[in-house]
């Protein structure tokens, strides 16, 4: 069953029969998505509810429900509430009376509408179930979100109107994953590479490369896959390339680490206060050699003027899509792409092998030095436009705020998108809480360091006395020069240990070729999304002599 089929299961109400609809064309050019969905099906599209908790209404609701410490199971039948039929629920789809359902639950979320980060997009969900979308966005299935949802509970949905929203078929064709990966969410699949595996390989084996998905992995065939390029302007132009046709451009390879902007978010969350997002530890970064053709060469072939870049953007759109049929997309400034030194490539290979399914098969863009979200997978189209990507992922995410901004005061429209990453480092072996055998009076420490924007890590400093003294680690680096250095750096250090010492606390910080050094405290860089989390890495472990 396809994702678009799942959309229509959710709107079948009477007699539990599946209604027949003309298939939604889900891969139109990005500007057509929103209008197509809204015009063709109106409120039959199922839209994400509560993707980010913002606004004073949410704050008030959470403060009320957080007093209850018991575990919440959303959508169970409650004997203390009235029962509604589906046709009655469907009537409540206006701003003045807005209901949704989840399993057996009926919820009046009218007061939540002004707080929805996606604006009026939520209006498409009026009178229908949010469950299919939550099956796609598995990170919503948390106690915090359940408590928020239940605070709006007004009744039960009649047994005959409760549909089976099982998503087994939706995820049935997900690729095989190595069982060594540390899974954060199963649907969509998000997983870290184990820390000790990180430092065993300079180029991460494909099967251990960390995985970040927003939706199910799309089914694509390299033999028939085509990528379109749209040039927006006084005269719109359109080009189309098969993978075979892309081969006429010069093939290049670059070694680049990809890191999620939320890497090490869990430390910020734990050491300061809660943030929104996947609880990545230090494993949302891996390193690989990517092979493909330069994006610059392809754009120039299509007539893009490298001298006319002011105010223009490159929008990358992937084949993965959400439950409304909107494809994933994000963008970068055009001058990034056409700079003669630009190393942005359209990749078909990873470590010498065809791209794995989880990593963009058969075609993805690699924007080295940028947050990995810019390296769009399953690439279907590239649009040159005066506008940035209109997608939620670009407009409402991957933007940073100062530590005093809250969800109530943050204005995403004025916050610049994150296009580069700060210098960071981590100790991967030993880990927090490990017991380490001291061999001949020595403990060996191993980790990684990385900096974005093409900067090279110059030094990794390690302290075992809480910053009083520092020792320089030995580095293993790619030979690429600064400004074009996109790989991570692995480091190691042998630390002498006195027999009387039974515990060690290690602090790690890195300095890059721009002479930027990691900040000491997470308090100074805390932000509501928990991104760019790069304070000193601190690890405590026990010693065994």
- Structure confidence by residue, pLDDT tens digits, 425-478: 999 999 999 999 999 999 999 999 999 999 999 999 999 999 999 999 999 999
Long-range contacts (CB closer than 8 Å, 24 or more residues apart) made by 520-526: 520/467, 522/267, 522/268, 522/271, 522/272, 523/271, 523/272, 523/403, 524/403, 525/268, 525/403, 526/268, 526/272, 526/273, 526/275, 526/403
Quick one: which H or E segment has residue 365? strand 364-366
Predicted confidence at residue 15, as pLDDT, reads: 32
Of the candidate ranges 22-26, 138-142, 286-290, the one whose mean pLDDT is the lowest? 22-26
Predicted confidence at residue 112, as pLDDT, reads: 87
Higher pLDDT among residues 130 and 467, named by residue: 467
CB 285 within 8 A of CB 302: no
Q: How far apart are alpha carbons 326 and 310 in whole angstroms?
A: 28
Predicted confidence at residue 325, as pLDDT, reads: 82
pTM of the model: 0.76
Average pLDDT, the chain: 86
Q: For residue 260, is pLDDT > 90?
A: yes
Which tokens is 57 given?
Answer: 């209404």
Pairing of strands 379-385, 226-231: parallel
450: three-class secondary structure by DSSP: strand
Could you report the per-residue pLDDT of 195-211, keeping only the tens digit for each?
Answer: 999 999 999 999 999 99
In the chain, % of residues over pLDDT 70: 82
Could you report the per-residue pLDDT of 173-202, keeping only the tens digit for each?
Answer: 789 899 999 999 988 899 999 999 999 999
In the chain, % of residues over pLDDT 90: 72
Predicted confidence at residue 119, as pLDDT, reads: 55
Q: How far apart are alpha carbons 335 and 398 in whole angstroms?
A: 20
Predicted confidence at residue 19, as pLDDT, reads: 28
Predicted confidence at residue 36, as pLDDT, reads: 38
Higher pLDDT among residues 147 and 383, named by residue: 383
Which tokens is 174 given?
Answer: 């997900």
What's the distance, Cα to Cα, between the start and end of the chain in Å?
Answer: 58
Predicted confidence at residue 121, as pLDDT, reads: 54
- Longest Cα pair distance anywhere in the chain, in angstroms? 76
Predicted confidence at residue 169, as pLDDT, reads: 61
Of the candidate ranges 36-45, 87-96, 238-247, 435-444, the one whose mean pLDDT is the lowest? 36-45
**Catalytic residue set:** 116, 140, 212, 260, 398
């Amino acid at each position: 069953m396809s994702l678009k089929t799942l959309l229509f299961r959710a709107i079948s109400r009477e007699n539990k029969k599946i209604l027949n609809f003309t298939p939604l064309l889900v891969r139109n050019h990005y500007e057509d998505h929103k209008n197509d969905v809204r015009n063709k099906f109106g409120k039959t599209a199922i839209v994400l509810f509560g993707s980010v908790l913002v606004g004073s209404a949410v704050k008030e609701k959470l403060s009320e429900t957080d007093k209850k410490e018991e575990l919440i199971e959303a959508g169970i039948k409650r004997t203390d509430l009235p029962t509604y039929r589906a046709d009655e629920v469907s009537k409540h789809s206006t701003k003045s009376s807005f209901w949704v359902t989840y399993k057996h639950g009926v919820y009046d979320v009218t007061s939540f509408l002004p707080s929805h980060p996606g604006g009026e997009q939520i209006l498409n969900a009026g009178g229908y179930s949010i469950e299919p979308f939550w099956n796609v966005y598995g990170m919503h299935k948390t106690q915090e979100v359940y408590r928020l949802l239940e605070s709006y509970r007004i009744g039960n949905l009649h047994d005959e109107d409760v549909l089976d929203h099982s998503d087994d078929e939706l995820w049935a064709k997900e690729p095989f994953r190595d069982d060594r990966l540390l899974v954060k969410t199963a649907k969509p699949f998000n997983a870290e590479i184990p820390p000790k595996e990180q430092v065993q390989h300079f180029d991460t084996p494909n099967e251990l490369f960390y995985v970040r998905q927003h939706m199910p992995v799309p089914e694509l065939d390299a033999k028939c896959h085509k990528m379109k390029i749209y040039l927006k302007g006084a005269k719109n132009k359109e080009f189309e390339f098969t993978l075979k046709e892309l081969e006429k451009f010069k093939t290049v390879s670059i070694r680049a680490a990809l890191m999620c902007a939320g890497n090490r978010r869990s430390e910020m969350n734990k050491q300061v206060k809660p943030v929104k997002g996947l609880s990545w530890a230090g494993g949302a970064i891996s390193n690989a050699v990517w092979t493909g053709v330069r994006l610059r060469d392809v754009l120039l072939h299509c007539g893009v003027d490298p001298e006319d870049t002011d105010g223009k953007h490159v929008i990358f759109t992937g084949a993965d899509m959400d439950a409304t049929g909107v494809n994933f997309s994000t963008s970068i400034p055009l001058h990034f792409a056409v700079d003669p030194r630009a190393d942005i490539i359209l990749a078909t290979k990873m470590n010498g092998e065809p791209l794995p399914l989880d990593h963009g098969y058969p075609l993805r863009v690699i924007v080295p030095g940028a947050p990995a979200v810019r390296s769009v997978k399953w690439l279907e189209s590239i649009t040159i436009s005066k506008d940035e990507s209109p997608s939620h992922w670009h407009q409402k995410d991957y933007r940073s705020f100062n530590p005093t901004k809250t969800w109530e005061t943050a204005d995403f429209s004025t916050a610049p998108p994150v296009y580069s990453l700060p210098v960071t480092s981590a100790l991967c072996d030993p880990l927090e809480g490990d017991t380490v055998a001291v061999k001949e009076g020595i403990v060996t420490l191993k980790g990684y360091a990385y900096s974005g924007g093409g900067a090279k890590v110059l030094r990794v400093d390690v302290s075992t006395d809480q910053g009083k003294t520092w020792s320089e680690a030995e580095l293993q680096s790619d030979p690429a020069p600064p400004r074009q250095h996109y790989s991570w750096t692995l480091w190691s250090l042998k630390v002498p240990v006195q027999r009387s010492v039974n515990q060690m606390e290690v602090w790690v910080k890195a300095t890059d070729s721009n002479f930027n050094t990691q900040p000491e405290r997470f308090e100074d860089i805390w932000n509501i999304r928990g991104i760019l989390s790069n304070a000193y890495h601190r690890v405590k472990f026990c010693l065994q002599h």
